[in-house]
Structure 1
């Protein structure tokens, strides 16, 4: 089985793409590292390698969790399988 994205902890809300060429509609396999388990997610957007995808629905104002750490705030709703980036997430630093 090939892994398409990684998630660090079960409570994280994002995975990171580790392969190139992810296209909308693909069913991806992710590895949750802390629990050593796999999950699946159908993506609705192309996801560049190294970019994040939502592994659960997120509402405006929700915290984005990665490494079980709050890394930003959702500025518009994000559905499971969508690309997370500067168009829908804002850092809390500024």
Structure 2
């Protein structure tokens, strides 16, 4: 993927479908991803991922050049990629309740 990518993002492998956030980025801020300027719909913290391309359910999410999971809903360029829209292909994904218990 060619084009300008924001310095606040790291692309670990050219084949990655996500970029890793280097520092927190607030909701409403603009970032460049693959030459496209995107306004973030939600805040994203350091270490989380933003989509480098459009993805649809069943697509593989690539990070470090390898698949880390599968897309569960449509994802737009620049969208936050996390447990709400992907699932691991290797380990179960769990959510914690308010008490910290696995549900």
Same fold (TM over 0.5): yes
Give the total of aligned pairs. Answer: 85
Between the two structures, name the one with larger relative contact order (CA 8 Å, sep ≥ 6).
1
| 1:76 and 2:73 are equivalent in the alignment | yes
1:29-55: per-residue Cα shift (whole Å, max 9, x none)? Answer: 56xxxxxxx856523321111101101
More strand by share: 1
- Cα distance change of structure 1 residues 63 and 56 upon mapping to structure 2, 3 Å threshold: same
Q: Cα RMSD (Å) of the superposition?
A: 2.0
Q: How far apart, CA to CA, are the structure 1 residues paired with 2:77 and 2:66? A: 19
Which blocks of at least 5 consecutive residues in structure 2 are unaligned?
1-5, 92-103
**Regions of 4+ moved over 6 Å:** none
State the structure with more CA Rg. 2
Which blocks of at least 5 consecutive residues in structure 1 are unaligned?
31-37
1:4-57: per-residue Cα shift (whole Å, max 9, x none)? Answer: 11011221100111112x123322256xxxxxxx85652332111110110111
**TM-score (norm: length of structure 1):** 0.78
Once the two structures are superposed, the pairs formed by residues 1-94 of structure 1 within 5 Å of their partners are 3-20=7-24, 22-29=25-32, 41-42=37-38, 43-94=40-91
**TM-score (norm: length of structure 2):** 0.72
